[in-house]
């Protein structure tokens, strides 16, 4: 099953609860929450309070993507707020931190994910003794919605599927739209983050449903 996880950062940030409810009603599988600190990524977005507000109104999984220089500082706060997936960047953590974060997410009944920037090699991931449920392959550099998809990262999606097997979700984040969604799914992606390709369209509901239809039989 291929899941569509719209990025709520691309929606109306002044009314997150309404946007979250709309996504759930439209059939979104997950909600992707981009969390940036202005340091690791050149943008500022949401804190734990925003995740808590979204959690209050929807039941679908919240995919918290921590683009933070030191995710350990706030990781527990996001878990307490209701995050279902806690995804940290390989570039911001070492193996010891991943071990601690893995234990912490498990204590809260959540799942650990690890994300990599376009320039980061999959071979650099030291996760052999960790319970990593999600690997996020970024096809843009962290920062802002609406960036152009980087096609040179496509082989990494297939390689991630080969490396991590069928028990791990392979997520693609950045520039996903109706022109590449099916191809990415055929390469092995099981979660597609959609920001501008949903919220940037004249009819976001129809845009989301079109993406779901495109990958529905992959």
Residues with a known catalytic role: 34, 173
* Alpha carbon distance 177, 183 (integer Å): 10
Side-chain-side CA neighbours of residue 125 (13 Å): 27
Contact 51, 82 (CB under 8 A): yes
Helix axes 16-26, 204-214, angle to 10 degrees: 40
- Residue by residue, DSSP assigns 71-118 as GGGTHHHHHHHT-SEEEEEGGG--HHHHHHHHHHHHHTT-EEEEEE-T
Instruction: Using the structure block, give the residue that is written with the tokens 């090699």.
Output: 121
17 Cβ contact partners less than 8 Å away, ≥ 6 residues apart: 53, 54, 56, 57
* Alpha carbon distance 148, 59 (integer Å): 31
Length of the chain measured in residues: 218
* Alpha carbon distance 183, 151 (integer Å): 11
DSSP-derived pairing of the beta strands 31-36 and 169-173: unpaired
């Amino acid at each position: 099953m291929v899941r569509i996880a719209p990025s709520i950062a691309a929606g109306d940030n002044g009314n997150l609860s309404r946007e979250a409810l709309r996504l759930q009603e439209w059939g979104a599988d997950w909600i992707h929450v981009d969390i940036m600190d202005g340091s690791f990524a050149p943008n500022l977005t949401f804190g734990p309070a925003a995740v808590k507000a979204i959690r209050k109104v929807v039941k679908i999984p919240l995919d918290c993507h921590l683009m933070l220089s030191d995710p350990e500082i706030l990781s527990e706060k996001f878990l307490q707020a209701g995050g279902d997936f806690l995804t940290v960047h390989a570039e911001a953590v070492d193996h010891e931190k991943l071990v601690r974060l893995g234990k912490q997410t498990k204590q809260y009944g959540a799942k650990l994910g690890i994300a990599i920037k376009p320039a980061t090699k999959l071979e650099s991931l030291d996760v052999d003794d960790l319970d990593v449920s999600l690997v996020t392959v970024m096809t843009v550099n962290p920062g802002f919605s609406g960036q152009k998809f980087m096609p040179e990262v496509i082989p990494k999606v297939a390689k991630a599927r080969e490396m991590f097997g069928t028990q791990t979700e392979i997520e693609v984040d950045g520039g996903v739209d109706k022109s590449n969604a099916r191809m990415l799914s055929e390469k092995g992606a099981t979660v597609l983050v959609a920001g501008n390709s949903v919220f940037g369209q004249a009819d976001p509901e129809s845009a989301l449903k079109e993406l779901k239809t495109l990958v529905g039989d992959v």
